[in-house]
A and B are shown apart, each in its own frame.
Chain A
């Protein structure tokens, strides 16, 4: 069943919705990366919650003028107006009064949402009941979508995607270094405005699919997940958009076979699943990589200390050290060093003696900074330098 959905076998509408959701996720992943870099992800939360009264007013107006209140295009225009108003309110409260931006975001988000709920109950009170389908905008609902609505979503998602793609250079520069952007002749405030416009577009297009309460997740989760894979902004951008796209696509497919459930939470949980994969398995920053690194480090420390102990003829009491030495063939089961073990131990001791000399000499300051008790000095210094050090400390003990 899921396979059918993934392969677009569940009908034209479902396929359109899945493509639209995928494109939406792509655009959201990209726009979200810039928000993440600018640390303004929560502004989008205010924008998305602010759409609700706009949707309700648009419904009422369209019904009042004898039209069909459920027309998606009309509702989305209402949503755009209301969310622009919400954004303006956040900006006013944050810049013109002494309230901080997060207070402004919280206030706008909850008040607009509350007012939207009031309007929804008004619409119910006037007898449209549940047929208005406006509740679907809260958490997303893609079941039984009209052909025209699905097309509208797919097309506008593709447009949003194209805009972010075109604007990604100025957006990146403005996100990292507004000062540089200004002196290089760009307008960072414009880039900011474009970013907000794109976020608004993502929010509005995502209303029907993800819903206004959870759309912010599609802007936050992909970039954070992508951050685990790379340190480079362009890579993060692409990985984030891919994660967003996959989440949208899989989520919409899953929702197509579970029409009773709201689509938004499913898409969000898909995004979280991809995040979890990144969190666990990403190289470098992933949990698995960290654990492996930890064990490798521990092994190296024990090995080194064990070899030094062998070289100096100290008994080894630490079980793990002994086990590692025995496994490497450096010691026999009773802790007596083998011939290879003796050779390696002498080498480790020699290295330690060289390090001691290097660390005592200010001329080798740079090299001495790399001392961690594990690195071989021959990895740090050149042949000539090593020879110089050796000349100072004399021949190895026992070799004479």
Chain B
């Protein structure tokens, strides 16, 4: 349990929990504002940006990744606006055109960019590689206190942790406006809150979480992290504060159970292999949502 766990399982486990919470917290507000699919949209759009950044920079450094993703996101926004204006087409359909095309372009770019580093392939982009984020320098629990070993932590861990901190700070600082805006945008505007700026901020932070999580869970499974824990929490409580806490808790539980099941589940059945951790986390969060949907105390619409 000592050395092996710290080196192989602890980093992905911590990263998984960070990803799950970092996505679930903004997910609450997206869900209430009926923007749940924004996470889906973002994760599709940023793919070509991330791939281009990878091709140009030669590695998946945080800065290059964020810049590539931001460029792709801005590009897509301009494209959507153009299509909407000229074709007088509803935004949903315009978004559908741009997102699917950009995702297709990203996939083809990925196939074309012959990367010998085997760091980024298509499967990786679709469902991540959480179990691949291991800590080579760890020698046991003592390494947690050893600065030399700590320097060898997978770069995704501090990155994800930083994103999580940013999101939590944002949520705490803007708690009141966020809460008011999520339930009654008109009232929030009447109070003088800048709801557009705040809504934009929320989307940007979600994008930040989605991009940072790209390595770990890819661009499709991350949608489960945005939607499932908040949706389940919404069916369990009527109070926003409790809902956010609960969603973070459910996210962490899904991440831990999912990771453990993926890593050791087949082993318990007598087979010495592991399955996709990101997929398992999504599955567990789906099961939690299903339970909440069937017997959550507040599952019904108030009519």
A residues adjacent to B (C-beta < 8 A): 36, 39, 41-42, 45, 49, 92-93, 96-100, 102-103, 105-107, 109-118, 120-122, 125-126, 135, 138-139, 213-214, 216-217, 220-221, 223-224, 227-228, 260-262, 264-266, 268-269, 272, 275, 279, 285-287, 290
B residues adjacent to A (C-beta < 8 A): 31, 34, 36-37, 39-40, 83, 86-90, 92-94, 96-97, 100-101, 103-105, 107-108, 111-112, 122-123, 126-127, 220-224, 226-228, 231, 234-235, 262, 266, 271, 273-276, 278-283, 285-286, 289, 293, 296, 298-302
CB neighbours (8 Å) of A221 from chain B are 96-97, 100-101
Instruction: Sort A-B residue pairs by CB-CB distance and give the 6 closest, nearest first.
Output: A114-B282, A111-B286, A217-B100, A117-B279, A125-B273, A110-B224
Beyond A103-B36, A125-B274, A224-B93, whether A110 also contacts B300 by CB under 8 A is no
B282/A113 in contact, CB under 8 A = yes
CB neighbours (8 Å) of B224 from chain A are 106-107, 110-111, 114
CB neighbours (8 Å) of A117 from chain B are 126-127, 221, 276, 278-279, 282
A224/B87 in contact, CB under 8 A = yes
CB neighbours (8 Å) of A264 from chain B are 104, 107
CB neighbours (8 Å) of A115 from chain B are 279, 282-283, 286
- Which DSSP category, helix, strand, loop or mixed, fits chain A's interface? helix
A359 CA to B182 CA in the complex, in Å? 49
**Partner of A265 from B37, B96, B104, B235 at Cβ < 8 Å:** B104
CB neighbours (8 Å) of B105 from chain A are 265, 269
27 pairs, A vs B, C-beta closer than 8 Å: A36-B93, A97-B235, A97-B296, A97-B301, A99-B234, A102-B34, A106-B39, A113-B279, A114-B280, A115-B279, A115-B286, A117-B127, A117-B278, A118-B276, A121-B276, A125-B271, A126-B273, A213-B126, A214-B100, A214-B103, A217-B96, A228-B87, A265-B105, A266-B108, A268-B101, A285-B86, A285-B88
CB distance from B148 to the nearest CB of A (A): 34
Known pairs A106-B37, A214-B104 / 12 extra A-B pairs, C-beta < 8 Å: A97-B299, A98-B300, A100-B36, A106-B36, A107-B289, A109-B220, A114-B127, A214-B103, A217-B100, A221-B100, A224-B94, A290-B86
A121/B279 in contact, CB under 8 A = yes
A125 CA to B282 CA in the complex, in Å? 19
A196 CA to B104 CA in the complex, in Å? 25
CB neighbours (8 Å) of A93 from chain B are 231, 293
A97 CA to B231 CA in the complex, in Å? 10
**Partner of A113 from B90, B122, B221 at Cβ < 8 Å:** B221
CB distance from B84 to the nearest CB of A (A): 10
CB neighbours (8 Å) of A266 from chain B are 104, 108
- Which DSSP category, helix, strand, loop or mixed, fits chain B's interface? helix
A125 CA to B296 CA in the complex, in Å? 36
CB neighbours (8 Å) of B300 from chain A are 96-98
A286 CA to B300 CA in the complex, in Å? 46
A115 CA to B278 CA in the complex, in Å? 9
A98 CA to B34 CA in the complex, in Å? 12
**Partner of A227 from B87, B96, B296 at Cβ < 8 Å:** B87
A269/B104 in contact, CB under 8 A = yes
A208 CA to B22 CA in the complex, in Å? 35
Closest A residue, CB atoms, query B92:
A39
CB neighbours (8 Å) of A109 from chain B are 40, 220, 223
CB neighbours (8 Å) of B100 from chain A are 214, 216-217, 220-221, 268
CB neighbours (8 Å) of B276 from chain A are 114, 117-118, 120-121
Max chain B Cβ within 10 angstroms of own Cβ: one of A41, A117, A264: A117
A147 CA to B101 CA in the complex, in Å? 30
A110/B126 in contact, CB under 8 A = no
CB neighbours (8 Å) of B271 from chain A are 125-126
A213/B279 in contact, CB under 8 A = no
Closest B residue, CB atoms, query A269:
B104
Closest A residue, CB atoms, query B301:
A98
CB neighbours (8 Å) of A99 from chain B are 31, 231, 234-235, 293
CB neighbours (8 Å) of B285 from chain A are 111
**Partner of B96 from A42, A106, A228 at Cβ < 8 Å:** A42
Closest B residue, CB atoms, query A285:
B87
Closest A residue, CB atoms, query B271:
A125
Beyond A99-B234, A266-B108, whether A122 also contacts B266 by CB under 8 A is yes
Closest B residue, CB atoms, query A280:
B86
CB neighbours (8 Å) of B40 from chain A are 45, 106, 109-110
CB neighbours (8 Å) of B122 from chain A are 138-139, 262
A115 CA to B93 CA in the complex, in Å? 28
Max chain A Cβ within 10 angstroms of own Cβ: one of B224, B235, B285: B224
B275/A122 in contact, CB under 8 A = yes
CB distance from A288 to the nearest CB of B (A): 10
